[in-house]
């Protein structure tokens, strides 16, 4: 089977994005300190946003020279989304997510500055049955490809996509599209009952064509989160080093 391993010039250790989904700023700061140099890239989502200290945490990560992914899935009137994304230009963040129709994505892309805009395709917590319940009577892969194609045309830089659909994206769309893959789980069945339904392993995600993977619970809930992060880093390095050799 053909490999679509990313050839983009991305430092290997930056290809792991840690989902910092904890209930308080204090816990977030403690986790950042605990992880140290095992993680270079952090995703900050809605849970942390609601704590009230979101941008103080952004500033802490900037002082530590970490990369930041603002995962707030902006979805509102296009002008409101435009104004929100414009505020990120002073925050020096690498990625931000937008979830919506063409006008919303276009508005976000028009003021993105140095921030790369990622469109959400289909959440990895949804499967075919969920999509049908939501009124989408179509194949999930085709919907992902359609949304990704529109996002790229509208000026977005990439998409959030399950590793199950990445191969199809690479076969159908421009290589410049950035693909960030959440729903990463170890090969064991320890995580079989969490809320992610469309999951893949680290290796499968990259061989299918992901540029980055987002990992949360397998690191966050580990007895030793730093060791868990380093193990994933080693898996990523093995994928790229084996191919390079």
List residues with catalytic annotation: 73
Burial 112-141 (b: 16+ CB within 10 A, else e): beebbbbbbbbbbebeeeebeeeeeeeebb
Q: How far apart are CA 14 and CA 12, in angstroms?
A: 5
């Amino acid at each position: 089977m053909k490999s679509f391993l990313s050839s983009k010039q991305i430092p290997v250790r930056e290809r792991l994005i840690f989902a910092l989904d904890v209930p308080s700023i204090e816990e977030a700061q403690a986790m950042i300190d605990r992880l140290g140099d095992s993680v270079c890239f952090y995703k900050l989502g809605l849970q942390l946003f609601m704590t009230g200290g979101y941008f103080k945490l952004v500033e802490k990560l900037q002082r530590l020279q970490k990369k930041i992914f603002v995962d707030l899935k902006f979805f509102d009137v296009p002008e409101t989304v435009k104004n929100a994304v414009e505020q990120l230009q002073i925050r020096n963040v690498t990625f931000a997510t937008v979830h919506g129709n063409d006008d919303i994505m276009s508005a976000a892309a028009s003021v993105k500055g140095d921030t790369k805009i990622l469109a959400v395709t289909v959440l990895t917590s949804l499967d075919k049955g969920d999509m049908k319940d939501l009124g989408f009577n179509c194949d999930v892969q085709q919907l992902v490809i359609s949304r990704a194609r529109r996002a790229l045309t509208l000026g977005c830089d990439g998409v959030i996509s399950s590793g199950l659909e990445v191969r199809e994206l690479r076969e159908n769309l421009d290589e410049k599209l950035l693909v960030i893959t959440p729903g990463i789980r170890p090969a064991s069945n320890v995580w079989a009952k969490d809320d992610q339904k469309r999951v893949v392993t680290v290796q499968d995600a990259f061989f299918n064509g992901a540029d980055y993977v987002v990992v949360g619970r397998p690191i966050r809930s580990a007895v030793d989160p730093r060791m868990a992060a380093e193990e994933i880093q080693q898996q990523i390095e093995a994928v790229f080093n084996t191919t390079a050799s």
